[in-house]
A and B are shown apart, each in its own frame.
Chain A
Amino acid sequence: MAIFGPRANLWMNTALVSVVVLFLGALLSIWVVPVMGYNTQERYAPEQPVPFSHRHHVTGLGLDCRYCHMTVETGQYAGMPPTETCMTCHSQIWTHAGVLEPVRQSFAENISLRWNWVYRLPDYVYFDHSIHIAKGVGCTECHVSIGDEALTRKTTTLYMSWCLDCHRNPAPHLRPLDQVFNPSWKRTANTPSGTALMTAYHIHPETLSDCGVCHR
């Protein structure tokens, strides 16, 4: 009696081909998934208690970044504004707007607004806003289109390779100190070169990518 039926070869070949296809598929997904926007959450704007628009406040009204993010020049965190900062204007204008109800409630009950984190770094990464500001890294180098965002969204991957791109070659990302908070700054012919700025700010890229710079 025959051990295998006439179709045995078909089954076997199908199985062998499937193994190869599955293997290649697994390989492909290992390579592709990490760079997919779905995985990196680029362009993702989390739900916020109030649909705050940077486009309106920064580009439209011309508020300085530091008006709300007060500790950005001195601290590790840029700082989220207390409700009182919002109320400096919104006690006078749009006092009955529905979208601002959480702000008024927060002010009345003296409970801070709970904004949802957009640019969230892992706990094992040390990041300090103030040093980047002090060394001429403009806000929009990382928060790319922040001044023009109707809803705040994550515009970068925040991958370690993304950090290292700049830490290994900072020159193209530097600007004069008076332009750091300009959300629409463009390099012009009169701008000092990146190398010149690097010298002026005493930036030494050869140590900038040491492990201990970020992983302390």
Chain B
Amino acid sequence: MTVLDLPSEAPVPVVAPGVTMRSLSEEVGEPNLRPKTPLWWWISFGFSLSLLLVLVVAVIWTLDKSVGAWGINIPVAWGLAIVDYVWWIAAASGATFLSSMFYLTRSPWRTATHRIADAVAIACSASAGIMPIMHLGRQGLFYWLFPYSNVMGVWPQVRSPLWWDFISLLCYIIAATFYFYVGLLPDLATMRDLARDRRQQLFYGVLALGWRGSSQDWAYFRFVYLIMAAVMAPMVVVVHGVVGLDFAGGLTPGWHSTQFPPYFFFGALLFGFALVIMLTILIRAAYGLDDILTEYHLNAMAKVVLVASLLLAYAYLWEGFGAIYGSDIAERTMFLNRISGLYASCYWAKIALNVIIPQLLWFPGFRRSQLLLFAISLGIAVGSWLDPYVVIVQSLHRNYMPSEWGNYYPTFWDWALFAGSIGLALTLFLLMLRLLPIVSIAQLRRIVKSAGAP
């Protein structure tokens, strides 16, 4: 039992009492098997595909013109691409942490929501992955980062966090894909058994890799899944911690701080959970899964968001304290500019969206209201984007020497790449939503069973 299991107000069941083993499979599985795709899906997919098209154009344009197409220059040499990267990988890390860490703690609310989180992680890490590559001046040479048998006699600097970042992101994407797929196996078998159409049977049958539901299958499955969860939880701490080290390793005022790895990880937690909450609310409404994705889930996740928000508040507090209490004049100048300079509006907006407004979640009414919860989560998503924006752009535009101060104005292609990356993640997510059971049937059966349903 964890603290999150304890009902704080009126006790809410994890799943609605009417859910049985059979109704569970059908309720989750049938929407994917229906030949007619709902209208809302087509509208969202059309929207995401057009954004994806924007990405294709923006990528081709950037490959042709290189990073000169963007507004970056000295002193602000890291622009929106890196902001987007931090944002996307934060979403992916936070979502994977939700799925893996709360499996290890056996939190019941994680059971019905982890598939959404895993799908979010896959979709977001795809968008995250393209950003650093696009940010390279010569994108075609990105393979130099691999430890392949290069004949140049020069190797990547293994002491640089930027290289750790590449390695950890690569490992993370591979591991997250496996983790997602392993968790899917029993559900794919359920889908195969539910399917009546021959093509669907083949599709899910091949993906299920011959799962028969024997006790041997289950024994292997539990073992592998537990190990994967135990690997993923610390892994995402490392992944986003290393993203923080990318900055801590730089000497720029505002970056050069040992608190960056945990600070960034707290931000990832906050954003990942907020994103999963938003999607849970939408999917719940779209598929009518009110009895499976119940108030209990939203309530529990809202509390974790509150915790993450407080953790982030601590990091923000320390950021200000360190700058003002410390003796480094550049650091102090930078921080005073941060709270009162050109980017002050962004700074205060992120404080409000990430820390102050989420405090409303102390009140049960805000956790119960889906509309307010969605609005707060959306605010966190915006705040989580502003966070790296302020850290990156504002820090760089006030470096040590006043002679090297300068501003950054994103160009159309900066924004096109950002919009397009949303299209990529959304397209991937919608495809997974259409093809795969978005709630883990197999794992939810345990909850239904323990609730005493037939």
Q: Which of A146-167 contact B (CB under 8 A)?
A: 157, 159-165
> Which one of B146-154, B158-166, B278-286 is at the A interface?
B146-154
B152 touches A8 (CB 8 A): no
Residues of A within 8 A of B75 (CB): none
Asked if A159 and B148 make an inter-chain contact with CB atoms under 8 angstroms apart, the answer reads no
Q: Contact between A3 and B152 (Cβ–Cβ < 8 Å)?
A: no
In whole angstroms, how far apart are the Cα atoms of A32 and B150 in the complex? Answer: 10
Chain A contacts for B205, CB-based, 8 A: 3-4
Name the distance in Å between A123's Cβ and chain B's nearest Cβ.
16
**Residue pair A12, B202 in contact (C-beta under 8 Å):** no
Q: How far is the CA of A78 from the CA of B210 in the complex (A)?
A: 68
Decide if A30 touches B153 in the complex (CB within 8 Å). no
What are the residues of chain B within 8 A of A9 when measuring CB–CB? Answer: 210
- A12 engages B210 (CB within 8 Å): yes
Q: Is B209 an interface residue when CB atoms closer than 8 A count as contact?
A: yes
| A160 pairs with B149, CB closer than 8 A | no
- New A-B pairs, 7, CB < 8 Å, besides A12-B206, A160-B152: A3-B201, A3-B202, A32-B149, A34-B149, A157-B151, A159-B152, A165-B153
In the complex, whether A70 has a CB less than 8 A from a CB of chain B is no
How many residues of A are counted as interface, with CB atoms below 8 angstroms from the partner's CB atoms?
A: 18
CB under 8 Å from chain A, chain B span 206-256: 206, 209-210
Distance in angstroms from A206 CB to nearest chain B CB is 16
Q: In the complex, which of the residues A32, A35, A161 contacts B152, with contact meaning CB atoms closer than 8 Å?
A: A161
Q: From A165, which residue of chain B is reached at the shortest CB distance?
A: B153
Q: Are A164 and B153 in contact (CB under 8 A)?
A: yes
Answer whether residue A31 sits at the interface, using C-beta atoms and an 8 A cutoff: yes
Q: Which of A12-44 contact B (CB under 8 A)?
A: 12, 30-32, 34-35
Cα distance A32–B151 in the bound complex, in angstroms:
11
**A161, B153: Cα distance in complex, Å:** 4
Nearest A residue (CB) for B143: A30
**Residues on A with beta carbons closer than 8 Å to the beta carbon of B192:** 3
Known contacts A8-B210, A31-B148, A159 near B153 by CB under 8 Å: yes
- Of B149, B154, B210, which one neighbours A31 at CB under 8 angstroms? B149
Which residues in B have their C-beta under 8 angstroms from that of A157? 151
CA distance A87 to B174 in the complex (A): 67
Is the CB–CB distance between B153 and A163 below 8 Å? yes
Of residues 187 through 212 on chain B, the ones whose CB sits less than 8 Å from some CB of chain A are 192, 201-202, 205-206, 209-210
CB pair A160–B210 under 8 Å, yes or no, is no
Q: B344-364 CB contact bits vs A (8 Å, 1 = yes)?
A: 000000000000000000000
In the bound complex, what is the Cα–Cα distance between A157 and B151 (angstroms)?
9
CA distance A159 to B205 in the complex (A): 50
Name which of B149, B153, B154, B210 has the most chain A CB atoms within 10 A of its CB. B153
Output the least CB separation between A29 and chain B (Å).
10
B residues in contact with A162, CB < 8 Å: 153
A-B pairs under 8 A by CB, number? 39
Minimum CB–CB distance from A65 to chain B (whole Å) comes to: 28
Q: Footprint of B on A, CB under 8 Å?
A: 3-4, 8-9, 12, 30-32, 34-35, 157, 159-165
Contact residues on B (Cβ < 8 Å of other chain), bracket: 10 to 19
Cβ-closest chain A residue relative to B192: A3
What A residues does B150 contact at CB under 8 A? 34, 161
**Which residues on A sit within 8 Å (CB–CB) of B153?**
159-165
- CA A113 – CA B210 in complex, angstroms? 70
Chain A proximity of B355: nearest CB distance (Å)? 45
Which residues of B are found within 8 Å of A160, using beta-carbon distances? 151-154
10 A-B residue pairs with Cβ-Cβ distance under 8 Å, sorted by A, are A3-B201, A3-B202, A4-B210, A12-B209, A159-B151, A159-B153, A160-B153, A162-B153, A164-B153, A165-B153
Question: Chain A residues with Cβ under 8 A from B209's Cβ?
Answer: 12
Q: Which residue in A3, A8, A30, A163 is a CB contact (below 8 Å) of B148?
A: A30
Among A3, A12, A30, A163, point to the contact of B149 (Cβ < 8 A): A30
Encode B132-174 as 1/0 by CB contact (under 8 A) with A: 0000000000000000111111100000000000000000000
Q: Which of B149, B202, B210 contacts A35 (CB 8 A)?
A: B149
Q: Is the CB of A161 within 8 A of B151?
A: yes
State how many angstroms separate the Cβ of A12 from the closest Cβ of chain B.
6
Q: How far is the CB of B259 from chain A (nearest CB, A)?
A: 35
Name which residue of chain B comes closest to A158, CB basis.
B151
In the assembled complex, the CB of A8 is this many whole angstroms from the nearest CB of chain B, namely 7
Enumerate chain B residues within 8 angstroms of A163, measured Cβ to Cβ: 153
- Complex Cα distance, B148 from A12, in Å, reads 31
Residues from chain B with a CB closer than 8 A to the CB of A159 are 151-153
Residues of B within 8 A of A12 (CB): 206, 209-210
Looking at the assembled complex, report how far the CB atom of B11 sits from the nearest CB atom of chain A, in whole angstroms: 43
Residues from chain B with a CB closer than 8 A to the CB of A34 are 149-151
CB-CB nearest in chain A for B209: A12
Q: Nearest-CB distance from A70 to chain B (Å)?
A: 32
List the B residue with the shortest CB-CB distance to A163: B153
Determine the distance from Cα of A166 to Cα of B95 in the docked complex, in whole angstroms: 50
The 3 A-B pairs with the shortest beta carbon distances in the complex, nearest first, are: A161-B153, A164-B153, A159-B151
CB of B146, distance to nearest CB on chain A (Å): 9
Q: Chain A residues near B154 (CB, 8 Å)?
A: 160, 164
Per-residue 0/1 for B30-74: is the Cβ within 8 Å of any A Cβ (1 yes, 0 no)?
000000000000000000000000000000000000000000000
Min CB distance B377 to A, Å, is: 39
Most chain A CB atoms below 10 A, which of B151, B205, B210: B151
Q: How far is the CA of A9 from the CA of B152 in the complex (A)?
A: 45
Closest chain-B Cβ to A126's Cβ sits at a distance in Å of: 16
Chain A's closest residue to B193 (CB) is: A3
Min distance, Cβ A210 to any Cβ of chain B, angstroms: 12
Residues on B with C-beta less than 8 A from A164 are 152-154
In the assembled complex, how far is the CB of residue A125 from the closest CB belonging to chain B, in whole angstroms?
11
Nearest opposing residue in chain B for A164, CB measure: B153
Q: How far is the CB of B201 from chain A (nearest CB, A)?
A: 5
Collect the chain B residues with CB atoms within 8 Å of residue A165's CB: 153
Q: Which residues of B contact A161 (CB under 8 A)?
A: 150-153
